[in-house]
A and B are shown apart, each in its own frame.
Chain A
Amino acid sequence: MNDVIIPDIDAIPLPAPVWLLRFLLNLTFILHIVPMNIVLGGGILTVALAWYARKKNRDDLHELASHMSNILPGAAAFTITLGVPPLLFVQVLYGPLFYTGAVLIAWFWLSVIALLLVGYYGYYWFSIKRDSEGKLPIWAGIVASIMFLTISFLYTNKMTLMIQPEKFAPMHHAEMQGFLLNAADPLVWPRWLHMLVGAIAVASLVIMIVGLVFHKKRPEYGDLAVRTGGMIFVVTTLLQLVVGVWHLLTLRSEVMWMFLGRDIVATTVLGVAILLALVAMVLVLIATRGKAVRSMTIAGTVVLAVVLVLMATVRSIVRDAYLVGKFDVTAQPTDPNWVVVVLFLALMLGGIGIVSWMTYAVVTRRGAEHMAG
């Protein structure tokens, strides 16, 4: 009964080549994790800021928390919206692993929906309502943050289970009602922590960007935001070095060695990513010292964006390495339907155009000069 059981690949051919679907999966995944990091890390940071501001009676920090809280609901909307395409592409490419992993932890996986509803409404509450003293209702932020923390843990759990199909049969034979969790897996905790610390780092850059927005009009407040965000970024990046090494060590040994020289591509991608993270840290450190604040913050953000892309690539390399000999994503029948693929891509470009136009119209207050009053 210890055979590896993996469902067969669907007999219906894929409507596009595997390389294109994988590209779309990784691209949309990267687009998804940017707002996701803001929702997860930003929520925790905003709650912490609001709590600290209240404790120390600091109105400036409370204002910063308030500005951050305004970003959270929109970020949640885009996390969900941009989460849909990677969910589609991972299912079409990795269906046998994706669905089986989900069924094994079914109730936990399904609970994501309820947690998401509470967390999402929680962020709206947190950002719109004010308590009797006119302050942010911290409890709402705490509840919402706990929801998103739990969701992130469940996702790590699921995605880690998915790449280890050898666990499927023993788990299924032990329990069929979907009450299992993959929490005892040594890979889960460091992977989750790695992602969580990363999310806080990304969100701390958002605090810096809030600072940049206000820098011209209110230099003092702008400086405070840049310094606060920058210090958090530096600390979390250093912490990430420790967590990242821990995560690397928990990988299956042949996969770990791929990143330590045995595979040139894997080693290079991870090496460059770590190096660039350090570069971003230095740039941010310079900004927090008040030197070339704008350009250093922007440069740090751009470098970190590259790090995110590289880290998503590392994630994809780990997934394929774990599945070697068990599931070959490239070995699937394909029958490309180019008309639909091109239509999708064209509509996506058109959609981005429309959203950009609307955003531009709102930012530039289009037609507002004719408004009465």
Chain B
Amino acid sequence: MKLDYSLVTRRTFLNTLFGGWVATFCAGSLYALWRGAFPTLGKEPDFVVLNAASDYLEIPPNSTKPFAWGGKLGLIFKRSDNTVVALKGVCSHMECNIVYKPENKRFYCPCHKGWFDEFGKNVEGPPPKPLEFFEYRVEDGKLIVHKQGIKVELPKA
């Protein structure tokens, strides 16, 4: 039924009204489901504080010691020339943990056979990027490992 002065029929008007209501309902529900399906993402830490710095810094040359970088693996690594560095022990290819091979003086990823040299450069296999290095300093016997270019100040106790 269409009144003379009306632009649309009553049926069109009601269908549009109802359709709009259904569309809004669906969009709202989908948005809520989408939000609910995602947790609040954490982020990687900017720094970690390790007790007993000497445990980490006094490892034998040509070896590594693991620490927890958030949920990921971090490594303190003493090269054969006694320089100590901190790096993320995660392969730049598919995020597998890497392992140091002292006999080759290289880091190795067992997942897809990737190799990195002592300076973290990807030298063989699929890894597309070098390893990520951190900076560190010792304060009150504690080892503070932090991302490059980040300033960390611990609260004074």
A and B are interacting partners: no
Chain B residues near A (Cβ < 8 Å): none
Chain A residues near B (Cβ < 8 Å): none
